[in-house]
Structure 1
């Protein structure tokens, strides 16, 4: 029994909507996984403590954007996490470049470095292990 062109068009539209919705849901869930991760939270906490960086952004309010999933510089494995978090405030926007390592014994992440790079080219060291060791 032949299928009408109209029925095929409706099926194509339906499948397009379902697959598009599935892709959007997957993107949202991946972003939520990043936002709930310990290495992500550590970097954001340090940025919120740094008054100089927040002033350069014009925060508060600090707005944290979605991570670009296609950026090859974002790498996470069981031992280390290097991610670039887009952030913005009222004055400026930029990227928080972070690097964390995981202690496999304690099963905890430790922030090693966080650098805020604004779109105008300014850089701010938000956190560095060597900087904090010098202050101790």
Structure 2
């Protein structure tokens, strides 16, 4: 015997209400496992000036997925990673590239921008000759 339309709508709504947050969580975890995300955070954790500006303990927050600053395709990845510490908060902006699909990602630039507007370059590749400029 067919279910009343109202019951079917209710069941579908409950199913979607549970599935959407789960999907969002899984996408966030997927980003956190990518090499370009991990390499950017390694640069942050190894930069004394950035750690001093943010304060400890350092917290990395979920990406704002709909943000125009978060973009990944086959050969380029730009991310805006929200971070905070006991002294301040801000965003780590990162740009990574790769020559072709299934090749390794190469960091091009990692910059910490604090909420007061101060920018701390964490990692940069020179555009002229491809040398790493670590400040």
* 1:99 aligned residue: 95
Question: Given the alignment of the two structures, is residue 41 of structure 1 paired with residue 38 of structure 2, yes or no?
Answer: yes
Q: Which residue of the other structure, out of 47, 52, 56, is the alignment partner of 1:55? A: 52
Q: Which residue of the other structure, out of 106, 121, 126, is the alignment partner of 1:110? A: 106
Runs of 4+ in 1 over 3 A off after TM superposition: 7-13, 131-135
**TM-score, with structure 2 as normaliser:** 0.86
Q: Take 2:30 and 2:23, find their aligned partners in 1: how far apart are those partners?
A: 11
Task: Report the number of matched residues.
Answer: 131
* 1:25 aligned residue: 22
Work out which of the two has the higher radius of gyration on C-alpha atoms and give 1 or 2: 1
RMSD (Å), alpha carbons = 2.4
Unaligned runs of 5+ in 1: none
**TM-score, with structure 1 as normaliser:** 0.85
- Using a 3 Å threshold, how does the CA distance of structure 1 residues 134 and 99 change in structure 2: closer, same or farther? closer
Deviation string, structure 1 residues 30-78 (Cα, Å, up to 9, x no partner):
101100000000000000000100110012x211000001102211011
Deviation string, structure 1 residues 98-129 (Cα, Å, up to 9, x no partner):
00011338710111100000111111001111
Higher helix share: 1
